[in-house]
Amino acid sequence: MALVSTPATLERAVPVMDNAEVLRIRNDFPVLNQLVNGQPLVYLDSGATSQNPVSVIEAEQEFYEQRNAAVHRGAHHLAVEATEVFEDARQTIADFIGAEYEETIWTSNATEGLNLLSYALSNAGLWAAQGRGDQRLGELALGPGDEIVVTEMEHHANLIPWQELAFRTGATLRYIPIADDGNLRMDQAGGIVGPRTKVLAFTHASNVLGIINPVKELAALGHTAGALVVLDACQSAPHLPLNVKELDVDFAVFSGHKMLAPTGIGVLYGRQELLDILPPFLTGGSMITTVTLERAEYLPAPQRFEAGTQRISQAVALAAAANYLTETGLDRIHAWEAELGQRMVAGLESIPGIRVLGPAAGKERIGLAAFDVDGVHAHDVGQFLDSRGIAVRVGHHCAQPLHRRLGLTATTRASAYLYNTTDDVDRFLEAVAGVRAYFRA
């Protein structure tokens, strides 16, 4: 088997994935083996929600068949076993992202993780004003004169929570703009992130543009300013090796349903010294040490942010998904998806009347491509492709400000994963080539 040493981020040559291997991988995904509108399904919507391999489905089923019980609350056999597999799953995910066990918080999804963080920072100001909690809380509190910085390409989940935090605290929300090619204006970033910046939040990889942002450079910029650095890793954790310590971010979030796991499970990573002093977001059982009728004292992380009955089976399944990706090799997956992404972009650029967002063919991107078809609405494009058994995403992809910046209201997005072949991409391109003629655009 041939070896590959690109992209440049790979530290060693690794065996290249090819169509033959991908076809074997597809056998692990039952949902892909079906006809849609009389055509074999081509699933190109993994950027929204990925499919589940049998090992992940079985991991969740096995939990319910053999170990279903509340965790951390019982001394009987099932409760002990449930707690063990639940916490083993946490360690698996911590290892998956290069974090510590105590730094890995279960959430329902990345959106909840970002809201948890924004509300914890709100509460930091309230606690500091009342002299409650750690003395360092005052350094995390936001108020008038402070600034939160995001980017113009953010998903709504990494924009609206910060808008609301600014509203609650009187802080100002600013953003790093993009250039016409979609890349961040890093030449302007240094004038935007400065002494007033308390939070710098940005996506690792854009769910619309396919761009991989310079995380280390942005993190260094934020830390030089004394800001907390928050990474949206939803489009990176499932697709490329991720080490939060090497990236030097303070917090990161991602969702299980985008990385082969069920819905209803996500992860918030945070540096332990920060998590242990931040006030909790949700309160109730399982996250306390002592409760009186007047007040409560809270456990350190991770339990500090996990009130109530947890997403136990989903966490177990997420760990199975992480193991599946690790065994396949995230560096290999990234290289294969990059090849598919280049094939998509090059093919789309060759079709008259198609505008592709983000980097042109030949430039680095993840395995997705959002595009506009001249004279045809994105929803019509999506229905046309669906009639040919091809599943894609249409709309603004929860990135209205980005679309507005690019002069669009909606686009069609195709996003590949480890179970897609070059034939999938070619079928997609052949169908797109017929869209404008079909609608007489």
Q: Is the dihedral of CA 161, 167, 168, 172 positive or negative?
A: positive
Taking each helix axis from N to C end, the angle separating 160-169 and 110-129, rounded to the nearest 10 degrees, works out to: 10
Q: Within 13 A of 148's CA, how many CA atoms are on the CB side?
A: 28
b/e map 49-60, b = 16+ CB within 10 Å = ebbbbeebbebb
CA dist., res. 149 & res. 146, Å (int): 10
**Residue 358 Cα to chain centre, angstroms:** 18
398 belongs to the catalytic site: yes
Count helices and strands in the chain by DSSP H and E runs? 16, 19
Task: Look at residue 416 and give its three-state secondary structure.
Answer: coil
Beta-strand pair 147-151/197-203: parallel
Which of 36, 398, 408, 433 is the catalytic position?
A: 398
Question: CA–CA distance from 100 to each of 127, 208, 215, 400 (Å)?
Answer: 27, 31, 20, 35
Tokens for 259?
Answer: 């990385």
Q: Say whether 160 sits in a helix, a strand or coil.
A: helix
Distant-in-sequence, close-in-space partners of 29: CB < 8 Å, separation ≥ 6: 51, 52, 53, 54, 419
Indicate which residues carry an active-site annotation.
398
